[in-house]
Amino acid sequence: MHYLSTRGGIAPIGFADAVMMGLATDGGLLVPAEIPQLDAATLRAWSGLSFQDLALEVLTPFVGDEIPRADLRALIDRSYATFTHPEVTPVIKTGGQRILELFHGPTAAFKDVALQLLGNLFAYLLARDGSQLNIVGATSGDTGSAAIYGVRGKERIQIFILHPKGRVSPIQERQMTTVLDANVHNIAVQGTFDDAQRVVKSLFNDLPFKSAYRLGAVNSINWARILAQTVYYFYAWGRVSGGDPAQPVSFSVPTGNFGDVFAGYLARRMGLPIERLVIATNRNDILTRFVKTGVYAIEDRVHQTLSPAMDIQLASNFERYLYHLHDGDTAQVRALLGDLQDTGRLSVDPARHAQVQADFSAAAVSDPETLDQIRATFASSGYILCPHTAVGVRAAQDLPGCVCLATAHPAKFGEAVREAIGQEAPPPPSLLGLLEKESRCVELDATPEAIKGHLQSVLEVPT
Ligand SMILES: Cc1ncc(COP(=O)(O)O)c(C=O)c1O
Ligand SMILES: N[C@@H](CCOP(=O)(O)O)C(=O)O
């Protein structure tokens, strides 16, 4: 399998190089040159597999022969041994809803599914070629801690995570800053997640700096993130459909950076019978507006909501979708991104807009509706939703049988949950005692210069 850039500026590369490159060196995102196609017999056979066995099958065509099968299997086993649920990502039924619980990993959010694997993958590839990696990532709350837990204490890796100061939940902040391993560096920046993400991308686009400091990516710009997240769509479909390829399943996906829902889109492009794929946004509804109008238009500001991990305007994986929507025409992708840069908006033609509406449904859910959904689900079943999950459940209210992705444990968002139902969710052991622990974090401006200066002072010389 080879990987190309959405902007057409790199020669095809293999899986390991794609994982290490993170953002493509022409500023685009890496995508597979072709999407493997599954037949009905394969879907049926995969539907009974354990999560780990399934992950091996889903990943194999994308990895190619770059990692021996036994090694890939060992990486997968090690990555999901840290999950507390034997099924890794179980589907449960509560009231009329199906919930795909993605929060049984070490940091209680769906990011663990990909970042436990990516951490082990990085360590494996670095040990193999004897090199080092300095990871730089941005977080609106969950990627940061999941990435940190994926690589803490690992040889050959340093990790620098930028989070927007005061815009992540107190638990999320402490999950990151209480990790005191010497290779972990937390940075609080003024501004929004979009500001942090912009700085990270600008460091990756500074190719001499990226190469001298061996920068690596943990955000969903890294193809391995998308790939690993694709597995649970297959898993959930198998559990719900019983493996009957004539039984499509719908999914509702709380969306911010468009990585998770893009993983679902990839699964469907591979042949997974997905009926509706719902983009569920909060008040930051640029993607919902795009699905409804065909126009992707940036608003003047990012709104702070009760689902803070989705307080994002510039959804980085949207570029991957634009690429597929335009059948891999990189010139068109570049032209559209040029429009976005110059005018703050881009639009697709009517035929493509119709395709967007065939690919996705979308709904924006307000904070009052989010609270109302947490309340209603609790009243009807005693189940507590996190505010992000509540956005997804609300967006799917007219889709009976839809699988709603539960992207975080509700105990991570105590204030919102208490506001809704007058009590907090009992925390899993991994979230206990965080507020009392020692923490470490520096505060810096959200500028490339400030972050580069910090990296240079910590790393002293390029490693
Ligand atoms: C709890 C939670 N739900 C949903 C999302 C949105 O996922 P994505 O950015 O992949 O769209 C995030 C952040 O990414 C998150 O942390
Ligand atoms: N919501 C995310 C934002 C970063 O998204 P990513 O999936 O691209 O890493 C977070 O929790 O940090």
Question: Of the residues 107, 118, 139, which should be mutated to test ligand 2's pocket, given the most ligand atoms within 8 Å of the CB?
Answer: 139
* pLDDT level of residue 461 (50, 70, 90 thresholds): low
Query: How much is the pTM?
Result: 0.97
For the chain, the domains span 91-106+223-421
Q: Which helix (H) or strand (E) holds 253?
A: strand 249-254
pLDDT digits (tens, 9 = 90+) for 3-27: 999 999 999 999 999 999 999 999 9
* pLDDT single digits (tens) 58-98: 999 999 999 999 999 999 999 999 999 999 999 999 877 89
SS3 78: helix
Tell me if residue 97 falls in helix, strand or coil: strand
Write the pLDDT tens digit of every residue in 87-110.
999 999 987 789 999 999 999 999
Helix (H, G, I), strand (E, B) or coil at 109: strand
Element of type H or E holding 216: strand 215-216
Percent of the chain with pLDDT over 70: 99
Rounded CA separation 187/154 (Å): 20
- CB-CB neighbours of 453 under 10 Å: 13
Measured distance CA(55)–CA(227) in Å, rounded: 9
Ligand 1: distance of its center to the CA of 257 in Å?
7
Kindly state if the Cβ of 309 falls inside 6 Å of ligand 2: yes
What ipTM was predicted for this assembly? Answer: 0.99
Distance 262 CA to ligand 1 centre (A): 12
* Helical pair 286-293 and 350-359, crossing angle rounded to 10 deg: 120
Please give the Cα distance from 177 to 171 (Å, whole number). Answer: 10
> Ligand 1 atom 15: the closest Cα is on which residue?
309
User: What whole-number distance in Å separates Cα of residue 281 and Cα of residue 277?
Assistant: 13
- Ligand 2 mean position to 367 CA, how many Å? 20
Residue nearest to atom 9 of ligand 1 (CA): 257
198 falls in which pLDDT band (50, 70, 90)? very high
Q: Please give the CATH number for the structural domain made up of 91-106+223-421.
A: 3.40.50.1100
* In the predicted structure, residue 463 carries a pLDDT above the cut 80: no
